[in-house]
């Protein structure tokens, strides 16, 4: 059911500073930068590699305010790994399968994620302390098939 690790989400206090660090230290490039108001984040996707199932990325996350998931995480734990995101073919089907296996779904319905993806979170308390995200990439445009 899981296609690949789509991205690792890393919480940070200052997005621009962290982008500069990752560029200099790892030579990765930013392929997308967005503000996601619903999720309360400013985020950047840094490309790591491409595979058969799609790309894999480092996602840097700066909260838009203290009363957001990443704002609360930073206050409690400081900067660091915030979540792991797995690519899936169909996020709605994956949610049903994982919900059926007894994993608490944070989201009742898929939400809008980075780069046009559909995403859903699984509760960290049911995944060994790891906030886990399911990611369905947008269908390729006809000329790309
Ligand atoms: C909270 N907890 C975590 C955690 N966040 N554990 C591991 N990893 C995390 N990232 C733990 C806390 O330490 C606490 O445990 C318990 O969960 C409850 O946390 P809380 O601080 O009281 O916060 P809640 O309950 O209000 O919310 C936790 C929850 C929330 C996971 C439901 O953060 C959430 O809805 N997250 C999903 C959305 C999200 O993270 N969005 C930002 C990324 P203790 O033991 O202290 O009780 S958006 C994104 O990434 C998009 C743009 C994308 O990928 O495209």
Record the tokens describing residue 141, joined without a space: 């445009």
- Confidence tier at 51 by pLDDT (50, 70, 90): confident
Ligand 1: which of 10, 40, 124, 130 to mutate, judged by most atoms within 8 Å of the beta carbon?
124
| Total domain count, the chain | 1
Residue 42: inside a domain: yes
Q: Return the pLDDT at 143.
A: 65
Say if ligand 1 is within 6 A of residue 12 CB: no
Residue 103: inside a domain: yes
Higher pLDDT, 140 or 16: 16
Residue 144: inside a domain: no
Say if ligand 1 is within 6 A of residue 36 CB: yes
The CATH code of the domain that includes 50 is: 3.10.180.10
What 3 state SS string does the chain have?
A: CEEEEEEEEEECCCHHHHHHHHHHHHCCEEEEEEEECCCCEEEEEEEEEEECCEEEEEEEEEECCCCCHHHHHHHHHCCEEEEEEEEECCHHHHHHHHHHCCCCECCCCCEECHHHCEEEEECHHHCCCCCEEEEECCCCCHHHC
- Per-residue model confidence as pLDDT tens digits over 54-107: 899 999 999 999 999 999 999 999 999 999 999 999 999 999 999 999 999 999
Ligand 1: which of 12, 72, 105, 131 to mutate, judged by most atoms within 8 Å of the beta carbon?
131
CA of 52 to the centre of ligand 1 (A): 30
Residue 145: inside a domain: no
Say if ligand 1 is within 6 A of residue 133 CB: yes
Domain enclosing residue 24, as ranges: 2-139
Ligand 1: which of 10, 73, 80, 134 to mutate, judged by most atoms within 8 Å of the beta carbon?
73
Residue 123: inside a domain: yes
Q: The pTM is what?
A: 0.96
């Amino acid at each position: 059911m899981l296609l690949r690790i789509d991205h690792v989400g890393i919480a940070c206090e200052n997005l621009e500073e962290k982008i500069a660090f990752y560029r200099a230290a790892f030579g990765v490039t930013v392929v997308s930068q967005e503000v996601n108001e619903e999720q309360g984040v400013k985020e950047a996707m840094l490309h790591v590699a491409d595979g058969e199932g799609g790309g894999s990325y480092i996602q840097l996350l700066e909260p838009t305010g203290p009363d957001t998931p990443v704002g609360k995480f930073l206050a409690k734990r400081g900067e660091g790994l915030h979540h792991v995101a797995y690519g899936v073919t169909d996020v709605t089907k994956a949610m049903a399968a994982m919900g059926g296996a007894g994993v608490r779904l944070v989201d009742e319905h898929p939400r809008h994620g980075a780069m046009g993806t559909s995403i859903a979170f699984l509760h960290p308390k049911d995944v060994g302390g790891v906030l886990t995200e399911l990611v369905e990439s947008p269908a390729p445009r006809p000329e790309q098939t």
